Chains A and B, each alone.
Chain A
Amino acid sequence: MPDDVALSMEGGWKRYGASLGRELLRRWWPRRRTPPAGREGPWALSDVTFSVRRGEVLGVIGTNGAGKSTLLKVLAGVSPLTRGSFRVYGRLFSMIELNAGIHNELTGRQNVYLLGAFMGFSRGQMRRRMPEIEEFCELGEFFDRPVRTYSTGMLARLGFAVAVNVDADVLLVDEVLAVGDLPFQRKCFAKMDSLYRSGKSLVFVSHALRMVERLCSQTLYLSRGRVAGIGPTADIITQYQIDTSAELLQRKTAGKTASPAADGPEAELPVRVLAVDLLDVSGAATTAFRTGEPMTIRVRYESDLDAAFPSVGMGISQETVLITGFSNELLGRRMPLARGRGAFCCRIPRLMLLGGVYSLTLKIRGEDGATLGGLGGGVYFSVHTPPEIRRSHEYGYVTTDVQWLDESSAAAA
């Protein structure tokens, strides 16, 4: 094992559902073949292999049920692997569910000793660290009052103070990092920074992709118990986004077609939309796009009449939120509709949408304003945001072209 590895897992498999009887049998008749697995559950972890180097922060992401909490339980030594092994080189400390050991009637100080004891530290060891812990949690006189008088924020501060001030080589962390008010959070981040600068490793499990992207150099992506990807965080997060969008897209479009139902209200109208195709930069029809890429919307229709100046309006929404709506009206662009079958296109040179799944609606009106045709839903597409754009655009639905200027440039601009 190379010297700089802090934690490694090889071929880890885990399944729940060990039944009492079979376990006892296996103990005393190891050579007897145990009856086939009936009540044992599916594999929660399948062939998981990864390692964490010293001073590295490994992110662990995945949807619910992907096996993240199972992995954490195994790493904390709380639950055994069914097959495979893992090794921790040094001491591992789990900061997840810190307050499990806290007892309400005891004071903050007494609970620090208690938490330390549960982590395997003797009273003497905790006593030596007490000044730092007391200072870190900033509880003042509350430190010597019973914990049941604490607010949740104070409880979190107590737990966190114990966690960051004890000697551990590997820390398991989850969203517990996000507790407390802003100054305290900043203090925690600063402390985490100093921890891994001094060679401690961190395994950070989270749904908050922005935090993962900010803190972790490498990321492990778990999907249904398997390692779906492991590598540099930016790439893994992109992959995760693509996967989750694709899944969401699949769910939304399952069983639906992108053209209106033959017996729907839109079928009665003079102009019927036959198909809406979304084309990427090369002209191929697709449903997956990247932020900043061009997108062409091609609408094929069948019309009962001629229209010289129809107005076509389109809207792009995410769930119930209309993100953007546009039409050809004010541009005066002639887009005549001819009787029979035809098609028209609309090109978006740069798609400003950030990662997610979106739906497209369209409405065609005649010059007099009467509705000629349209499509109320059923067209879905996904967008994923490449790392360069993700870096500066963390929140919201769309990107914005910004230039950051200092005062002198601003005056000149």
Chain B
Amino acid sequence: MPVAIFSQALSGLAAHGSVIQALVYRDLQARYARAGLGWSWIFLQPILQMVVFTVLRGILGIADSGGMSLVIFLYCGLLPWNFLTSSINGASPSIFGNAGLIKKTAIAREVFPVSAVLAALVDLCVGLMVLAALMAWFAVPVTWNLLWLPVLIGVAILLSLSIGLLAAAVAPFRGDVHLAIPHLTQMWMFLTPLFYSSDRVPSGLRSVLTFNPAVGLVEGFRNVVGAGTPPELLPLAWTVVFSLLTLVVSWPVFRRMSRYFADVL
């Protein structure tokens, strides 16, 4: 049964391939075409973020790096995190932001949050290229564990979609969703070991971390890329389970509400 749903989803994706491609291209165009520095901003964003945090490190005195350069430590964590947040922040307005199209054509509404996630994926891929350069610079050892990367990216997409679909479905009906999400993701950020590693967290708070689905993802990235070790399977499994549970709720809700998008927009 899950296989059937999965293959149905894939074939649906293929049929809508050109639309999704067009939407992603349109979103990226909108973001970068008018910028003076143009497409180079895709590279600049992660680099600038890196510079800021490295400076912060000096000011705030964040010491421990868990055996790897702090730059790598931060970058490996930020990459999947940025993907997650920009997916969700992009998915939530994807329905009411495309009101004109939705009121006019009958294409499957899923293409809108999906293309938001894929647009974030493009940024992620560029970030990976920058990461590769950083790894060369800091002489980080390359291990077979890097093969975990596609898996981790897949999990990240799953998590983003599951939350993004829910946000996209509810946002046209409740404007609060769109406004609340940036704040919620900010709080989420503090609960995620981005600037600290989880073994530094006192055991009492550690239990909170176990419920955070982003932990498995972020630490997995760090382990695989920065330390050359395989990701911790238990937190990662929780991320997958959490995503699937959310998807089981969010996708049907999306389907149900999508019938009325054109009415309320």
Contact = CB atoms under 8 A, between A and B. Distances in A.
A78 B104 contact: yes
Given A27-B256, A103-B26, A106-B29, A117 B19 contact: yes
Given A117-B18, A120-B107, A78 B262 contact: yes
Interface in A46-89: 73, 76-80
A384 B247 CA distance: 61
Given A113-B22, A117-B18, A20 B173 contact: yes
A79 B263 CA distance: 6
Given A23-B256, A27-B252, A27-B256, A78 B22 contact: no
Contacts of B174: 20
A119 B256 contact: no
A80 B26 contact: no
A201 interface: no
Contacts of B30: 103, 105
B262 A79 contact: yes
Nearest to A113: B22
A16 B263 contact: yes
Interface string A215-238: 000000000000000000000000
B26 A97 contact: no
Contacts of B22: 113-114, 117-118
B256 A101 contact: no
A334 to B, nearest CB: 69
Given A76-B106, A78-B104, A101-B100, A24 B256 contact: yes
Contact of A114 (B26, B34, B103, B252): B26
A119 B34 CA distance: 28
Nearest to A23: B256
Contact of A118 (B33, B105, B253, B257): B105
A73 B105 contact: no
A18 interface: yes
A187 interface: no
B260 interface: yes
Interface string B250-265: 0011001101101100
A23 B260 contact: yes
A23 B257 contact: yes
B259 to A, nearest CB: 5
A96 B260 CA distance: 19
A114 B105 CA distance: 13
A18 B263 contact: yes
Contacts of B253: 24, 27
A14 to B, nearest CB: 9
A97 B21 CA distance: 22
A113 B17 CA distance: 13
Interface in B83-136: 100-107
A20 B107 contact: no
Contacts of A262: none
Nearest to B172: A20
A122 interface: yes
B104 A100 contact: yes
A123 interface: yes
A96 B104 contact: yes
Interface string B220-259: 0000000000000000000000000000000011001101
Nearest to A18: B260
B261 to A, nearest CB: 9
B260 A77 contact: no
A26 to B, nearest CB: 9
Contacts of B107: 118, 120
Nearest to A97: B104
A258 to B, nearest CB: 46
Contacts of B157: none
A105 B104 contact: no
Interface in A87-112: 94, 96-97, 100-101, 103, 105-106
Contact of A100 (B101, B252, B257): B101
Question: Which 5 A-B pairs have CB atoms at the shortest separation, nearest pair first?
Answer: A77-B106, A100-B100, A117-B18, A78-B262, A100-B104
24 contacts: A18-B263, A20-B174, A23-B260, A24-B256, A73-B103, A73-B262, A76-B105, A78-B102, A78-B106, A79-B259, A79-B262, A80-B260, A100-B103, A100-B105, A101-B100, A101-B101, A101-B104, A101-B105, A103-B26, A103-B29, A105-B30, A116-B18, A117-B21, A121-B18
